[in-house]
């Protein structure tokens, strides 16, 4: 796979940043997306695999077909989606699994808004949704907390 040269001493290849001295650093998974790119990624994750027409059909403001096609190719260049050819159309799918993308987004959110504290993030989410949680969901949360306590000992 060809690498994109950024400058004389650095280049990206997949998820790694290489420097001239061949030190390797993990490239952060979270890179800011435009509103349109985020909408498209949400749709591709929801559908699992989608053609340009599928994405256009699921977008709220029905953008032009070519706008979505170009945006998907940009997302592919950025490393967020990949495509496969099926007859005369491309089918796009996310590069990261939903679980890995969730972890990356949550990690970014915790660092940005909660000073890296998982407990602050959890307390905020519980405060926002406590009236909407069922007894079963509360029991599930309590069970996860007990498991975490046992693992910490």
Strand partners, 18: 11, 24
Residue 25 belongs to what domain range?
Answer: 1-29
3-state secondary structure of 20: coil
Residues 44 and 3 in one domain: no
* pLDDT tens digits, 27-50: 445 457 888 998 999 999 999 999
The mean of the pLDDT values for the chain is 80
Could you report the per-residue pLDDT of 114-129, keeping only the tens digit for each?
A: 998 888 888 888 887 7
HEC per residue, 81-146: EEEEEECCEEEEEECCCHHHHHHHHHHHHHHHHCCCCHHHHHHHHHHHHHHHCCHHHHHHHHHHHH
Answer yes or no: do 45 and 81 share one domain: yes
Q: Into how many domains does the chain fold?
A: 2
For residue 111, being part of any structural domain is answered with no
DSSP per position, 63-74: --HHHHHHHHHH
Share of the chain above pLDDT 90, in %: 40
For residue range 43-77, list pLDDT tens digits in order: 999 999 999 999 999 998 889 999 999 999 999 99
How many helices and strands (H and E) does the chain possess? 6, 6
Determine, yes or no, domain membership for 118: no
44 domain-assigned: yes
- Is 115 a domain residue? no
d(CA 66, CA 53) in angstroms, rounded, equals: 10
Instruction: Give the whole-angstrom CA distance, residue 16 versus residue 22.
Output: 11
**Tell me, what CATH number does 83's domain have?**
1.10.10.10
Rounded distance, CA 123 to CA 145, Å?
Answer: 13
């Amino acid at each position: 796979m060809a690498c994109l040269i950024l400058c004389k001493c650095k280049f990206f290849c997949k998820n790694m940043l290489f420097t001239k001295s061949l030190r390797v650093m993990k490239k952060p998974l979270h890179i800011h997306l435009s509103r349109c790119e985020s909408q498209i990624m949400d749709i591709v994750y929801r559908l699992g695999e989608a053609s340009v027409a599928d994405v256009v059909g699921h977008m709220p403001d029905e953008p032009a077909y070519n706008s979505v096609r170009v945006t998907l190719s940009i997302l592919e260049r950025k490393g967020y989606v990949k495509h496969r050819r099926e007859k005369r159309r491309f089918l796009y799918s996310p590069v990261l699994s939903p679980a890995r993308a969730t972890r990356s987004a949550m990690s970014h959110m915790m660092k940005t808004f909660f000073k890296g504290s998982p407990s602050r993030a959890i307390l905020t989410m519980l405060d926002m949704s406590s009236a909407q949680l069922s007894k079963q969901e509360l029991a599930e949360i309590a069970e996860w907390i007990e498991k975490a306590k046992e693992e910490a000992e």
